[in-house]
Amino acid sequence: MKLLVVGEKMRVRESLHDFVTRRLYFALGRFASQIERVTARVGDMNGPRGGVDKQCRIEVKLRGLETVVREARADDLEEAASRAAERVERGVARAVERSRHKRRRPGVSMAGPREPAMNGKEPKESNASALDSAES
């Protein structure tokens, strides 16, 4: 799983980079074999004006599946990253679960083709009944 933390209109300080990295490994670690790449973009949308403007947008590229994208805003970048990590974890879990269901539900039954309906006809003698009479 490749992980990249990028600053939007800002430089990412080392402590924030480490926090986001730890948080994403914690949230997505169980899916690591299914994840090709994770990109976290953090930024201060309003600059010096303040307010709830710190944003974290996380994109997870799954192997053979779609890309899951979630974002969150908060008063500080760590909180935005935590919220976005929780959201992207749920999104990845959902995508992986959907792919498992698609693989388990093929168009043809795994048991093979079924016998056609009898339509009032007598059933043919099977090998099982022939074996029963041979044992008697």
Burial class (CB in 10 A: 0-12, 13-18, 19+), 41: middle
pTM of the predicted protein model: 0.70
| Percent of the chain topping pLDDT 90 | 55
Structural domain spans, the chain: 2-104
- Please tell me the distance from the alpha carbon of residue 40 to that of residue 57, in angstroms, as a whole number: 6
Write out the E strands in the chain.
2-8, 35-44, 54-62, 67-74
pLDDT confidence band for 35 (50 / 70 / 90): very high
Contact 132, 125 (CB under 8 A): no
Q: Does domain 2-104 have CATH number 3.20.20.370?
A: no
pLDDT of residue 134 exceeding 80, the answer is no
